Structure 1
Amino acid sequence: MSRKRTMSLTKKLVLSVTTGALVTGGVVATMAAGNAAAPDVVCPGSTVTLSGEAGPPAATSGTFPVGTKLKVTNLDNGQATTVTVNGPSGSCVLLNNAAFDKVREPGKNLIRRARIERVGGGNAPATGAAPAKPAAPAAPAAPSAAPGGQAPPAAGEVVCPGSTVTLSGEAGAPAATSGTFPVGTKLKVTNLDNGQATTVTVNGPSGSCVLLNNAAFDKVREPGKNLIRRARIERVN
């Protein structure tokens, strides 16, 4: 074989890979590189609890609009569920009973190690947005008539207007956790549907404005309900 022909064949067979491109015969073919886009992990550090509401698996949220799809993974048992937000609440994500049952550990009503991912729908805030700051003082709420009694006017600084209140399922003396207020903050929670109120001290973090433990929730709950939709939350120190 002649020297000229040997060089020609060599030129045609040379392949060179540089910075993700395949070069062959003078034509550059771009190669896909890297992994798929990382999941949109939101509300880092939030706990997840249940609303006590019935119906097919769903969630409520104070962070994302109706229609947002969120995937919730319990990192303590590896179980996950994907739900659609169907209303507001005081948490990043609050699961109804059917959704929570898909990820819960037996006997627990709180997931402390959760991963929450936004997987579709909704025009939601950016990932990793800073927690909301305590709301500015609001005008005292008017007394509210209710079947079980009447709530007196607010005496402290009304915070987190519109938030729902639920329970963590944790034992111990009446207390609360919060994603808005630091440990040591005293919060008064009034159930406007029955006029019952309790004052608790925040003793740890959660994904809610205020999340009551069992003993505290029992002081303000209506029989058979694990969610207070009409709540007034006051900071009293």
Structure 2
Amino acid sequence: MRRTYRRPVQPGRNRKIVIGLAVAALVGGGIAVGTGLSSASTVCDGMDDAIGRNQEFIAAQRASPNAQTEAVVANRQAVIDLINVQRKQAGCGGAVAAPPAAAPPVAAPPAAAPAKPVQQATTAPPAAGGGNAAAGDVVCAGSTVTVSGEGGAPAASSGTFPLGTTLRVRNLDNNKSITVKVASTSGSCVLLNNAAFEEVREPGKFLIRRAVIERVG
């Protein structure tokens, strides 16, 4: 009868294999956790930026109030509350600190009458940020674009252009663009509402760092 020889198992070799598998599992888990934390940080940073812009706009409205201040501030506060709910759901820690309240404007003393009449300028200077730009001009160069948190059909808000202005916003990172009308006031060149931002953003990001903004009407 033929005998089968079995090689004895070496305990030390088995121990090395088990340890190697455990180390590989730990390294793989670390990479997955690190990637998740990086993505969450990007989402939280975008929402924090949106809250900060709305808080700055509210502070500016409080510093120079008008007949519509309370309604506009209430709208912006509702936007901040909505984004805070989204921050909580995303697991973002801490809270975005509100900017310090701006001091009320101090009335300037009356100017002395000039000795000679001063010739008035016939044309007003262009508004900062391209408010007087013609159709087709690129405006607000270098501006980032984020979400305002407002609902409804795709639209924009702006502190540079009047209501009804048509703007085209293009995300250079994915070459997606959208054309929207300015429907409300904000403290930025342009903010996109939820529906408009979904059309051009990259997945998981709440901030467009490389954007081209054009006035088309």
* TM-score normalized by the length of structure 1: 0.42
Higher normalized helix content (fraction of residues): 2
Q: Which has the higher contact order (CA 8 A, sep 6+)?
A: 2
TM-score, scaled to structure 2 = 0.45
Structure with max Cα Rg: 2
